[in-house]
Amino acid sequence: MASEGKGLYPIGDVEKKTGLSARQIRYYESMGLISPARTSGGQRRYTDGDILRLIRIKQMKDSGFDLKSIKEKIQIFERNLQELSVDDISSERAVLSSLFPVSNRAVLMKLLEKK
DNA sequence: TTTCTTACA
DNA sequence: TGTAAGGA
């Protein structure tokens, strides 16, 4: 990739890593699903977390969910994630890096639970 | 060359 | 969602 190892990637790298078009990535940002950083020149810079988030969005999109549903799910997921105690999960990274793992099905259900 | 915004034969 | 235009 153009910026391997830095931890921040331009949109071209994100297209390759997520399989989403730059058009879609920018559109999702306008819809409030992601908030990438900007360089002084105005170019977007995505973190690994942003990319993981986009991959989850793509999976839900491919599963037939509309953007509205996806946005709600992610907001619920992340709001609940902040409220989870260390008793439920080993670490936040473990959850973020695992795209709906079967081994953590119970925790996943808890994260997606509507409050 | 890559990315950005705006706009739609 | 894709793509063209025009600038950075």
pLDDT tens string A64-101: 999 999 999 888 887 877 776 655 655 555 555 555 55
Q: Looking at residue A7, what is its pLDDT?
A: 84
Confidence of residue A8 (pLDDT cuts 50, 70, 90): very high
Q: How far, in Å, is the CA of A84 from the C1' of nucleotide B2?
A: 41
Q: What is the mean pLDDT of chain A?
A: 81
Query: Which of residues A1 and A63 earns the better pLDDT score?
Result: A63
Lowest mean pLDDT among A22-26, A65-69, A100-104: A100-104
- Strand B proximity: list residues 10-69 of A with CB under 7 Å: 10-13, 22, 26, 42-44
Q: How far, in Å, is the CA of A42 from the C1' of nucleotide C8?
A: 9
Q: Cα A87 to chain center, whole Å?
A: 23
Q: Is strand B in 7 Å reach of the CB of A1?
A: no
Query: Which of residues A41 and A114 earns the better pLDDT score?
Result: A41
Q: Looking at residue A75, what is its pLDDT?
A: 86
Longest dimension (CA), chain A: 44
Give Cα separations from A98 to A41, A91, A111 (angstroms).
Answer: 34, 11, 13
Q: Is strand B in 7 Å reach of the CB of A101?
A: no
Which CATH architecture does the domain made up of A11-112 adopt?
A: Orthogonal Bundle (1.10)
Q: What are phi and psi of A62, to 5 degrees?
A: -65, -20
Q: Is strand C in 7 Å reach of the CB of A41?
A: yes
Q: How far, in Å, is the CA of A27 from the C1' of nucleotide C1?
A: 10
